[in-house]
Amino acid sequence: MVTVLHEGPPIITDRQRQVIELIAAGCSNEEVASRLGISPRTAKAHSDVLRQKLGCARRRQIPSAYRTLTGRDPLSQSLETGPIASGD
């Protein structure tokens, strides 16, 4: 088995960015699920993966870790692009 190591910052998908924005806005996993048209379990799975990628112990640390990593404020991104549409 060959293990490929990813060098540099973790890759954050568009969907993960949406989850980060909603967490930054104070949404629970249930609210994230409702806004994105996914199940609460899937929303939690996104949060768990983001915690691992960003090296966070707690869900509420995700936006801050993202800001530190990218230099971008997740709340300002959502303000620039407008509301997040569900079902994408």
* pLDDT tens-digit map of 13-39: 999 999 999 999 999 999 999 999 999
Supply the pLDDT for residue 87. 45
Q: What is 14-81's CATH number?
A: 1.10.10.10
* pLDDT tens-digit map of 46-69: 999 999 999 999 999 999 999 999
Calculate Rg over the CA atoms of the chain.
Answer: 13
Question: pTM of the full predicted structure?
Answer: 0.78
Compute the distance between CA of residue 23 and CA of residue 39 in angstroms, rounded to an integer. 15
pLDDT at residue 84 tops 90: no
State the maximum Cα–Cα separation within the chain, in Å, rounded to a whole number.
44
User: Which residue did the predictor score with more confidence, 10 or 65?
Assistant: 65
Q: Domain coordinates of the chain in residue numbers?
A: 14-81
Supply the pLDDT for residue 5. 60
